[in-house]
Amino acid sequence: MSKRKIFVGGEFLITDSEPGDMFIVEEMTTEHKMIYSAATDFVKKEILPNDEQFEKINEDYARSLLEMAGNLGLNGTDIPEAYGGEDMDKTSTCLVTEALGGAPSFSVSFGAHTGIGTLPIVYFGSDEQKRKYLPKLATGEWFASYCLTETDAGSDALNTRTTASLTEDGKFYILNGEKIYITNGAWADIYIVYAKVDGKSFTGFIVERAFPGLSLGKEEDKMGIKGSSTTSVILKDCRVPKENVLFEIGQGHKVAFNVLNIGRYKLAASTVGACKIAITEAVKYANSREQFGRKISSFGMIKNKLADMSIRTFMAESLVYRLAGAIDDRFNTLDETAKQQVTENAKTIEEYALECSIAKIYGSECADFCMDELVQIFGGSGYIAGYPPERMYRDTRINRIFEGTNEINRLLIPATILKRAMKGRLDLLNAVQVVGEEIRNYLSDTVIMGDAPLAVQERLVKISKKIFLLAAGKAANRLGANLEEEQEVMGFMADMIIEIYVMESGLLRAMKIISKKGESNAQYHDATAKIYINDTFPKIVHWARQILSYVEAGDDQAAQIATVNRLADYPPTETIALRRLVAEKVIKARKYPF
């Protein structure tokens, strides 16, 4: 395998990648393919036929599935071999997570167990804690859960009221407080609980179900994912042995947030799996339902929907596996000793925090889009319980809320970029200056582009970055320290950053496939990149204009907006025929076609 260039987090905004720098899912090894097959077979044979089981809580069934998953090794891809796992690369974990993403409700139970439930111990646990807990989590004998949220600590996660105080003999911490909306609440055997020691130092604890003082609230009656358990977890003078402190006192935020980063890209992988199922359901119905004497899949408006669902899912898939590959590459730079060190692991995960937020936002919104169109394609029957779309529509909605709302993640993206720019980790200021100079020296309005495949789209992605740097530079300049208070501006910046990463990921994947298989064998990839970038570029322009018209005034404003307009001038790509082409492929394949 050729060596990919390693980017620092956020660098994609200022450095253009080559297709060779990015991992694409088509580059799976034979083992990866087998892992994906094993996981999809499991879902197809053991879970999907019992679809209706997941409209109510059934602990025995969920436990039996978790144990079956354990037998297959699906729970342990991130767990080191010494502790009962397989210690696989992130790509393998993503493939398993994606496959399980197609499972109603269980995807959430499984995701919380293997992700935010297990990973705090994998990355931050002591050897003793790992030996004690990880083997049981790998086999699925024990369910894990993650307890961060409280009534007054939702998005403001550090505003924890739960306290921990050391007993006089120094052997136990006494925990008091209440956590809410805890996934796997009623089923979990261990809870990763965050509490403030002496009301000050935010710290993680491993709390066993059997510890005295732990009790559970009633099952929540949720909008969707009704087959998963969600309860409050009540700690009343709960006695937790000192050995169960996770990582260090006062370092709980590192555990909580780094694990959420991983949880976020895994959530995105899971939504890709759900979207693929939605496309299968949608095209199956559109190919059988007849109106006006024709299958509805023969109508342009339905074709558009099938194409758009597949195009966005392609984009989500491209970015998720790009990110998994990037995290793997970075982990591979660590030597064996460094891999054992908590701080090195944490640093590696933290590096791509903003890409993880992008994945979470894009994946969850892509899934909402797909489920919404799925309901629409089914028409009236899409609104009726008992048909898959109604359940899938409700089930997916949580993805925009948990593991950090999409709003919190949107704020994190530009905030992280700015913080790294200030600390010198990302050379954003220089990039802003370079763009400024380029714009001043910009003489010709006509740009000569090669006729290489996707050359126009490649240019549009590059220009998107320039437009972002121009707008973000002005916003930072004018608003200074107040920028973070101006959440609407931050939101526009986040949207630009997200779409730049998405467009570039889809573009590079399409380019790589074209160069491998030849243009004539990659026409659907080519069409997908063209359609998506054609439709998204005007949004970048719109967001930039909005930022500039808010932060600038008078002649400066007019000049900046004129610059954006000049950069934004591009001939539109014809997308009606291209969408039909993609749709025809979906209709023939009867599933997600890539």
Partner 1 sequence: MDVVVLVKQVPDTESLIQIAEDSVSIKTGDLKWIINPYDEFAVEEALQIRETQGGTVTILSMGPEKATEAIRTALAMGADSGVLINDPMTAGGDALTTAKVLAAALKEIPYDLIIAGQRAVDGDNYQVGSAVAEYLGIPQISLVIKEEIFNGKIRCHRVFEGGTVVVETPFPALFTTQRGLNEPRYASLPGIMKAKKKPLDIKTLADIGIDPAIVGKAGSKTKIKTLNFPSERQAVRMIDGESGAEKAANLVKILHGEIKAI
Tokens 């990648």 correspond to: 17
Is 277 among the residues that bind partner 1 (CB under 8 A)? Answer: no
Span interacting with partner 1, options 118-126, 369-377, 570-578, 584-592, rule CB under 8 A: 584-592
Question: Could you tell me how many residues make up the chain?
Answer: 594
| Strand bridging mode 163-166 / 144-147 | unpaired
Residue closer to partner 1, measured from CB, 34 or 455: 34
Residue closer to partner 1, measured from CB, 86 or 189: 86
Which residue of 30, 337, 441, 444 would you call a contact of partner 1, by CB under 8 A? Answer: 30
Q: Mark whether 403 is an active-site residue.
A: yes
* 332 Cβ neighbours under 8 A, 6+ residues apart: none
Burial of residue 443 (CB within 10 Å: 0-12, 13-18, 19+) is exposed
Span interacting with partner 1, options 12-20, 30-38, 218-226, 487-495, rule CB under 8 A: 30-38
Is 290 among the residues that bind partner 1 (CB under 8 A)? Answer: yes
Cα–Cα distance measured from residue 197 to residue 182, given in angstroms and rounded to the nearest whole number: 21
H-only helix segments in 12-144: 30-42, 59-72, 90-100, 106-112, 119-124, 127-139
- Each residue 511-550 as x (binds partner 1 by CB under 8 A) or -, in order, gives ----------x-----------------------------
Q: How far is the CB of 73 from partner 1 (least distance, A)?
A: 3
Q: Which of 98, 403, 458, 499 is catalytic?
A: 403
Q: Which of 572, 504, 501, 563 is nearest to 538 (CA)?
A: 572
Q: How far is the CB of 37 from partner 1 (least distance, A)?
A: 8
Which residue of 11, 17, 54, 77 would you call a contact of partner 1, by CB under 8 A? Answer: 77
Q: Please report the DSSP string for 519-531 in residue order.
A: GGG-HHHHHHHHH
- Each residue 34-73 as x (binds partner 1 by CB under 8 A) or -, in order, gives xx-xx--xx----------------------------xxx
Q: How far is the CB of 88 from partner 1 (least distance, A)?
A: 7
Span interacting with partner 1, options 33-41, 48-56, 414-422, 423-431, rule CB under 8 A: 33-41
State the Cα angle at 554 between 549 and 555, rounded to 5°: 105
Is 102 among the residues that bind partner 1 (CB under 8 A)? Answer: no
Residue closer to partner 1, measured from CB, 31 or 59: 31
Is 74 among the residues that bind partner 1 (CB under 8 A)? Answer: yes
Q: How far is the CB of 100 from partner 1 (least distance, A)?
A: 13
Is 88 among the residues that bind partner 1 (CB under 8 A)? Answer: yes
Q: Which of 358, 324, 356 is nearest to 501 (CA)?
A: 358
Span interacting with partner 1, options 18-26, 434-442, 561-569, 583-591, rule CB under 8 A: 583-591
Is 279 among the residues that bind partner 1 (CB under 8 A)? Answer: no
- In our burial notation (b when 16+ CB lie closer than 10 A, e otherwise), range 495-525 reads bbbbbbbbbbbbbbbbbbbbeeeeeeebebb
Q: How far is the CB of 261 from partner 1 (least distance, A)?
A: 24
Q: Which of 464, 454, 449 is nearest to 541 (CA)?
A: 464
Q: How far is the CB of 391 from partner 1 (least distance, A)?
A: 23
Contact 410, 490 (CB under 8 A): yes
* 553 Cβ neighbours under 8 A, 6+ residues apart: none
Residue closer to partner 1, measured from CB, 347 or 590: 590
Span interacting with partner 1, options 74-82, 346-354, 547-555, 556-564, rule CB under 8 A: 74-82
Q: Which of 180, 387, 209, 354 is nearest to 288 (CA)?
A: 387
Token pair listed for 190 = 């261990």
Cα→Cα distances 559→552, 555, 556, 565, Å: 10, 6, 5, 10
Cα→Cα distances 368→251, 312, 328, Å: 35, 11, 28
Residue closer to partner 1, measured from CB, 41 or 127: 41
Residue closer to partner 1, measured from CB, 44 or 253: 44
Q: How far is the CB of 39 from partner 1 (least distance, A)?
A: 9
- Each residue 183-202 as x (binds partner 1 by CB under 8 A) or -, in order, gives --------------------
Residue 117 has what DSSP assignment?
A: I
Is 86 among the residues that bind partner 1 (CB under 8 A)? Answer: yes
Is 343 among the residues that bind partner 1 (CB under 8 A)? Answer: no
Residue closer to partner 1, measured from CB, 284 or 394: 284
Q: How many residues bind partner 1 (CB under 8 A)?
A: 24
Cα→Cα distances 589→373, 528, 586, 593, Å: 19, 16, 5, 6
Q: How far is the CB of 522 from partner 1 (least distance, A)?
A: 11
Residue closer to partner 1, measured from CB, 30 or 444: 30
Is 590 among the residues that bind partner 1 (CB under 8 A)? Answer: yes
Helices 300-332 and 487-517, axial angle in degrees (round to 10): 90
**233 has which bridge partners?**
179, 216
Q: How far is the CB of 316 from partner 1 (least distance, A)?
A: 21
Cα–Cα distance measured from residue 594 to residue 586, given in angstroms and rounded to the nearest whole number: 9
Residue closer to partner 1, measured from CB, 11 or 317: 317
Q: Is the dihedral of CA 270, 272, 275, 277 positive or negative?
A: negative
Between the two ends of the chain, the Cα-to-Cα distance in Å is 22
Residues carrying an active site annotation: 403
Binding site for partner 1 (CB under 8 A): 30-31, 33-35, 37-38, 41-42, 71-74, 76-77, 86, 88, 92, 96, 290, 521, 588-590
